[in-house]
Amino acid sequence: GGVDARSTNGGVSIDVAAVGPERITVHTTNGGVTLALPQNAKADLSASCTNGGINVSALDGLEVSEKSRRHFEGRLNGGGTQVEVETTNGGIRVRSRDVANTSTETDTPERLKSR
């Protein structure tokens, strides 16, 4: 099914395992939003904030149609499911869930062993 997440005082963090045909909507008034989408998702993405910034990263196949400090629109993998993210006081971060947990720090012990 779709997602409809709303908060008045507090941030919202959503990790979407698979994107189906139903709309994904995330709204908050006082708090930031983090949304992780699968790399292969087909989505029409719209993000807007009043006081804060928007960061969209690590999404291959993203065609940006509009990008400013407070508004972002784009199509992921040709478009599809409507994904709408909105906040009044807070930032928005949209990223790929497929690279969400990678860290270069985990490589360090391996490098040290090989010396």
Looking at the domain assignment, is residue 86 inside a domain?
A: yes
Looking at the domain assignment, is residue 61 inside a domain?
A: yes
Looking at the domain assignment, is residue 85 inside a domain?
A: yes
Q: Quote the CA–CA distance of 29 and 62 in Å, as a whole number.
A: 27
Looking at the domain assignment, is residue 104 inside a domain?
A: no
Looking at the domain assignment, is residue 58 inside a domain?
A: yes
**What phi and psi, each to the nearest 5 degrees, are found at residue 16?**
-95, 120
Looking at the domain assignment, is residue 35 inside a domain?
A: yes
- For the chain, the domain total comes to 1
Q: Which residue range is the domain that position 41 belongs to?
A: 3-97
CA dihedral for 93, 83, 51, 62, sign (positive or negative): positive
Give me the pLDDT at residue 111, please: 38
Give me the pLDDT at residue 115, please: 39
User: Which helix H or strand E contains 110, and what residues bound it?
Assistant: helix 108-113
pLDDT tens across 69-101, in order? 999 999 999 999 999 999 999 999 999 998 745
CB count within 10 Å of CB 45 equals 26
50 neighbors 29 (Cβ within 8 angstroms):
no
Looking at the domain assignment, is residue 60 inside a domain?
A: yes
Say whether pLDDT at 61 is over 80. Answer: yes
